[in-house]
Structure 1
Amino acid sequence: MRDVSLNPIRPLAPELAWLDDAALATTLVTLTAGSLRAVLAPEVGGALAAFYEVTPDGPLHWLRPAVPAAFEQRDPLRMASFPLFPYCNRIRDARFEFDGGTVDLSGNDARFAHALHGNAWRHPWQVGARTASSVELHFDHEPDARVPGDWPFRYRAQQRIELRDGALRITLSAQNLAGRPMPFGMGHHPYYPRTAETRVYADVQAMWHADADVLPTHLGPHPAVDALREGMSPDAFDLDNNFANWTREATIAWPDENRRLTMTADAPFDHMVVFAPANDAQLCVEPVTNTTDCFNAVGMQELVGGCVLQPGEEIAATLKWTPQRG
């Protein structure tokens, strides 16, 4: 494993012993600011492998750290978080109508019946400018008609990831490089440590109910809405749902460990996904610009999100995770 820093190669930091060095064959970028660390795996979908704090008792992980298998299998789904471009979550039957034609995304991944999370997470990202506490990653997509289900629009995606003011900041941006309008959405997919005492706080107004394929059916009330305002246990419901009209702030708390992590988002991250499956160790609270299947959704734009980028148009917005102890 290579660890790219201001000096091209350096040994793996002692607190990263939770990784199996022998199992890794990828480039890592480690950011440092005070006691905070962020470890990036550009070759694995531009993913974040870990966000933690160095303590006398060892690393205190604020996101679920990647395991060696995530690197062996180049699997962003097993990372701490990964970027979502050019849409978030599922597209029903991997197709939608746009600008007078059908966009067919079928065949790009046999694991999923519906297109999932766009395509940027399936490719290596390039490392750009960096300092000890920040790095820029970028991904350029060139459509290939020979690839089944390839996204048919040319675009550029970027992440500026930095440790600043005691927080992890990720600025996502994209530009439509196609000569025609392009439907678009973006987000990040963070996984959090989940224990029996974990609580999730967020002020939301309604939940998108979903069918057996985890595709939205209608927006309405649900007990999880009130539970989130009061501090919801991930074990309270079986969730893989979008929530509407959140205040763009959510807190994941571990009261038994006397710590919490607050996530804030800029517009247009006006939608939030909670993935808290029953009897499972996974927990995701995801800031996104569009609901599941937004390109097929019928309804007011503010309820489904997403946008259309004109040729050459750019979009950018920032996410922030602030850890607190005590």
Structure 2
Amino acid sequence: MREALSNPFAADPATDLRIDDPSLVVLSSGATTLVVAPQVGGSIAAYGERTNTRVLHWLRPATRAALAAVNPLQMASFPLFPYCNRIRGARFAFEGRAIDLAGDGNRFAHALHGHAWRTPWRVGARTATSVELHFEHVPDAKATGDWPFRYRASQRIELIGGALRVTLEAENLSAGPMPFGMGHHPYYPRTSNTVVTAQVEQMWHADDHVLPTHLGPHPAVDALARGMSADAFDLDNNFSGWARSATIAWPDEGREVTLTAESPFDHMVVFAPANEAQLCVEPVTNTTDCFNANEDSRERAGYRVLQPGETIRAALAWTPRRV
């Protein structure tokens, strides 16, 4: 009984997460509990609200096995630095310089999600409802495929009532300019009744490697505006012209959570593969492979360069609601 009271996930069939794990940071606000796993790439492990009968998970919760495996892809959400999604062949050119990331330990053929998600983050200031996480990358000239730019990143993760707010910040510590992008990669509970609603203008169509081919119309654009079933399409695509708000709803459960984002999180990724239980609606500053975009499409792709000493900072929020 004591465990059930102290750990809202103790009798939860969705996860066997133990919040007494000393490696975790647990935040609490009223009936809402947020679990942060700094050692697993600065990830959020769980975000749920306790009711009289169950825990309502606003993000898909991690399991004890996922924590033991230090697997960010099985967390509730993880940060994306210093770029989002894939880079074709793990290579791109920047200011006449060839950047090769193929040997940085990323096991994917196309460099994926940067590297900060595969590295422990340091815990900074914390309260009962907030925590700051810090990460600094110092390039290793002797390491094959290392990101060759030095930068500092931080996350401020906080509960404001039942809402979750994450503020991402990065500073270019290099002597020269640095290409850059950031985002967060949240997973949501997916059922046969899950609905995603968002205002977008166009979709980046992709090839078999999930790399963009062209920007154009798609039935998912109109479906999202009306409220799209998570099962409607086989999606792993970027959307442009995002209004920086998206709602993930479970109508049969009478609940929904709304994601809102500040600029420059002007792009949204929907990962809703057919015949799988995964669902991601991701706020990002850049589209897939934006560092290889040609000059005509760079602005549309969110291509961004931070000058020496320049800082970028923007917040995301998830606000739950019973309906």
TM superposition score normalised by structure 2: 0.94
Q: 1:180 aligns with which of 161, 176, 183?
A: 176
Aligned amino acid, residue 60 of structure 1 = L
Residue 77 (structure 1) aligns with: 73
Structure 1 segments unaligned to the other structure (5+ residues): 1-9
Residue 4 (structure 1) aligns with: none
The alpha carbon displacement at 1:99 in A equals 1.5
Cα deviation code 1:209-251 (max 9, x no counterpart): 0000000000000000011011111111110000000100000
Write the mapping of 1:148-167 to structure 2, written as runs, cut at 5 A.
Answer: 148-167=144-163
Of 276-285 and 14-23, more deviation after overlay is shown by 14-23
Aligned amino acid, residue 315 of structure 2 = T
Which secondary structure state, in structure 1, belongs to the residue aligned with residue 321 of structure 2?
strand
Q: Does 1:313 align with 2:310?
A: yes
1:268 to 1:12, Cα distance in 2 relative to 1, 3 A: farther
Q: 2:86 aligns with which of 65, 85, 90?
A: 90
Distance (Å, rounded) in 2 between the aligned partners of 1:280 and 1:101: 40
Distance (Å, rounded) in 2 between the aligned partners of 1:143 and 1:108: 11
RMSD: 1.9
Q: Does 1:14 align with 2:7?
A: yes
1:48 to 1:101, Cα distance in 2 relative to 1, 3 A: same
Q: Does 1:189 align with 2:182?
A: no
* Identity of matched residues, %: 67
Q: 2:45 aligns with which of 43, 49, 56?
A: 49
Q: 2:121 aligns with which of 121, 125, 133?
A: 125
Residue 28 (structure 1) aligns with: 24
Cα deviation code 1:102-161 (max 9, x no counterpart): 110002246310000001001000000111001100101111133332111111010000
The alpha carbon displacement at 1:67 in A equals 1.5
Write the mapping of 1:263-282 to structure 2, written as runs, cut at 5 A.
Answer: 263-282=259-278
Aligned amino acid, residue 182 of structure 1 = M
Distance (Å, rounded) in 1 between the aligned partners of 2:144 and 2:59: 34
Q: Does 1:143 align with 2:139?
A: yes
Write the mapping of 1:198-277 to structure 2, written as runs, cut at 5 A.
Answer: 198-277=194-273
Cα deviation code 1:282-302 (max 9, x no counterpart): 000000000000000123443
Structure 2 segments unaligned to the other structure (5+ residues): none
Residue 102 (structure 1) aligns with: 98
Which secondary structure state, in structure 2, belongs to the residue aligned with residue 27 of structure 1?
coil
Distance (Å, rounded) in 2 between the aligned partners of 1:158 and 1:108: 21
Residue 7 (structure 1) aligns with: none
Residue 322 (structure 2) aligns with: 325
Of 13-22 and 162-171, more deviation after overlay is shown by 13-22
Distance (Å, rounded) in 1 between the aligned partners of 2:322 and 2:28: 19
CA contact (8 A) 1:156 1:175 kept: yes
- Equivalent pairs, count: 317
1:12 to 1:93, Cα distance in 2 relative to 1, 3 A: farther
Cα deviation code 1:138-191 (max 9, x no counterpart): 101111133332111111010000111431000000000111100000000000
TM superposition score normalised by structure 1: 0.93
1:207 to 1:21, Cα distance in 2 relative to 1, 3 A: closer
Distance (Å, rounded) in 1 between the aligned partners of 2:19 and 2:201: 45
Q: Does 1:58 align with 2:57?
A: no
Q: Does 1:40 align with 2:36?
A: yes
Distance (Å, rounded) in 2 between the aligned partners of 1:163 and 1:316: 19
Distance (Å, rounded) in 2 between the aligned partners of 1:12 and 1:311: 50
